[in-house]
Amino acid sequence: MSSSGFSPADPPAARPVPSATAPAAPWSVRPQAASTTPPAPTDTLGGPAAAPAPTPGGGAAALSSSAGGPAVGVLPPVEGGPLADEGLVQLLTPTGERVAHPVYDQYVADLTDDDLRAMYADMVLVRRFDTEATALQRQGELALFAQALGQEAAQIGSGRALRPQDHVFPSYREHGVAHVRGVELTDVLRLFRGVDHGGWDPVAHGFHLYTLVIGSHALHATGYAMGVQRDGLVGTGDDERDTAVVAYFGDGATSQGDVSESLVFAAVNQAPVVLFCQNNQWAISEPTTRQASAPLAARAPGFGIPAVRVDGNDVLASYAVTAQALARARSGGGPTFVEAFTYRMGAHTTSDDPSRYRSSEQEEHWRRRDPIERLRLHLEARGALPDEFVAGLTAEADALGEHIRETVRSMGHPSSASMFEHVYATPHAGVEADRAWFERYETSFLDQTGHAPQEGSHR
């Protein structure tokens, strides 16, 4: 058995939705238990300074009554900037200490040392995959690659909370989720080598193909969830039947209309969908502070969707909040918006150079919050990371690296005509017309003997 432990087809059962209510988040418009003084926007997370508070004459002033308090019937603006770290659900501190949580402890209470080691192994293997794929791109073996570096906890934690019947709509760096859904990581590289539109069977894995059109799959996921609902696969009480759908997207995607539209449809239909936003603080070179003036999660309640902000570098907390959200969806309780606050430790893709737009101090700040290191420290403190396990995992990672290198180099060259396959399940006149045009185009390069001309001779 591999050191990655429990099989992707057999995640630990998520527990039922707890009746306890989480304390109001600092950005909530709900009345706060203690002081209602908004926390000052801070830069405690090492990112660029949070957006300034609204100025007189701006939205906040316009919402105030002449007496200075909020106008009757008008909701006040949400509190805190998009980088505020107050209100994040956390179960493991950056140094690996377990902290208690009144709501989410119960979701991780059943996790054994084996489960924690399995999560650790997943994260280590996915990081090795990232490293190998990046090196292969540099060697010209891949056209492009997008790392998951730094986001392993958000992906493995949330992915491990899924059940086999759940269905995931990823964007393009969800390699950790792909791994726990049983997708061969080398198949992910078929897309990045350009030999395939996808590389795996979405139905077999409950894991859709990667989506490069930012935010579009939030709509696909919500529509799919509405279908699941209409198929009677929600709220039956049968753990093997009730199904949830997850859309993974980034902070930048929340600026797209598609994501807002999916929130509308999810809310009014009470669709069994979890809208899982990995806020890695960057949309290529655009920081979250240029796209939001309040936490991204704070948008969802305005649509009527409950939201939770979680420390996305904490694998346990990511597991717990996702388990709760999935249980809500499967039981017919409707959608949840999860904002996993994390950091893109690497470049956007291999075509990007982040030193052009962010500081090495910020990168160093987040290196000290590495999600893998956090779980390693926790396991060590529990005495649950024996040397033999570490040695076995290192050997498994080395074998994975070799497997990736060999498999990618031996991927064949598809015919260019294959790009027209699988566009639709049934024949389609438009695709046939494109295929015929492309064949004529390719034939136009052949010389009179029907052979391809020598390199450069047609120029």
For Mg ion, the closer CB: 285 or 418: 285
Residue 299 as a binder of ligand TPP (CB under 6 A): the answer is no
Q: What is each CA distance from 149 to 155, 345, 367, 380, 448, in whole angstroms?
A: 11, 6, 11, 22, 52
Task: Supply the DSSP string of 64-79, one letter for each residue.
Answer: B-TTSSBPTT-PPPPP
Q: Which residue is nearest to Mg ion (CB)?
A: 250
Q: What angle do CA 268, 275, 192 make, to 5 degrees?
A: 135
- Helix, strand, coil fractions of the chain, as percent rounded to 5: 40, 10, 50
For ligand TPP, the closer CB: 244 or 296: 296
H or E stretch covering 247: strand 245-250
* Mask for 336-355, x = binds ligand TPP (CB under 6 A): --------x---x-------
Decide: residue 455, CB within 10 A, 0-12 exposed, 13-18 middle, 19+ buried. Answer: exposed
Among residues 344, 369, 374, 378, which one is catalytic? 344
For ligand TPP, the closer CB: 122 or 251: 251
Separation between Cα atoms, residue 334 and residue 323, nearest integer Å: 14
Stretch that binds ligand TPP, among 75-83, 278-286, 353-361, 442-450 (CB under 6 A): 278-286
* Mask for 38-77, x = binds ligand TPP (CB under 6 A): ----------------------------------------
Among residues 220, 241, 290, 357, which one is catalytic? 357
CB 68 within 8 A of CB 62: no
Residue 144 as a binder of ligand TPP (CB under 6 A): the answer is no
Stretch that binds ligand TPP, among 4-12, 76-84, 218-226, 248-256 (CB under 6 A): 248-256
Instruction: State the binding partner of 119 from Mg ion, ligand TPP, none, CB within 5 to 8 A by kind.
Output: none
User: Tokens representing 246?
Assistant: 């997850």
Identify whether 309 is a catalytic site residue: no
Going by their DSSP bridges, the two strands 167-169 and 286-287 should be labelled as unpaired
Stretch that binds ligand TPP, among 122-130, 279-287, 325-333, 405-413 (CB under 6 A): 279-287
Nearest to 25 by CA among 245, 331, 341: 341
Distance of CA 110 to the CA centre of its chain: 24
Residue 250 as a binder of ligand TPP (CB under 6 A): the answer is yes
Instruction: State the binding partner of 51 from ligand TPP, Mg ion, none, CB within 5 to 8 A by kind.
Output: none
Separation between Cα atoms, residue 45 and residue 295, nearest integer Å: 13
Contacts of residues 417-425 at CB distance under 8 Å and 24 or more positions apart, as own/partner, are: 419/197, 422/197
Give least dist CB 283 to Mg ion, A: 5
Among residues 309, 328, 348, 374, which one is catalytic? 348
Instruction: State the binding partner of 104 from ligand TPP, Mg ion, none, CB within 5 to 8 A by kind.
Output: none
Place of tokens 């790009």: 419
- Bridge partners (DSSP) of residue 273 are 245
What residue type is 140 in one-letter code? G
CB 192 within 8 A of CB 411: no
For ligand TPP, the closer CB: 211 or 229: 211
* Mask for 204-243, x = binds ligand TPP (CB under 6 A): --------xxx-----------------------------
Identify whether 348 is a catalytic site residue: yes
Stretch that binds ligand TPP, among 29-37, 197-205, 277-285, 397-405 (CB under 6 A): 277-285
Identify whether 344 is a catalytic site residue: yes
For ligand TPP, the closer CB: 74 or 212: 212
Q: Residues interacting with Mg ion, by CB under 5 A? A: 250-252, 280, 283
Q: What is each CA distance from 38 to 127, 182, 281, 292, 433, in whole angstroms?
A: 38, 44, 22, 17, 60
For Mg ion, the closer CB: 278 or 324: 278
Give least dist CB 284 to Mg ion, A: 8
Instruction: State the binding partner of 287 from ligand TPP, Mg ion, none, CB within 5 to 8 A by kind.
Output: none
For Mg ion, the closer CB: 286 or 434: 286
Separation between Cα atoms, residue 128 and residue 252, nearest integer Å: 26
> Which residues are catalytically annotated?
344, 348, 357
Binding site for ligand TPP (CB under 6 A): 173, 212-214, 249-253, 280, 282-284, 344, 348
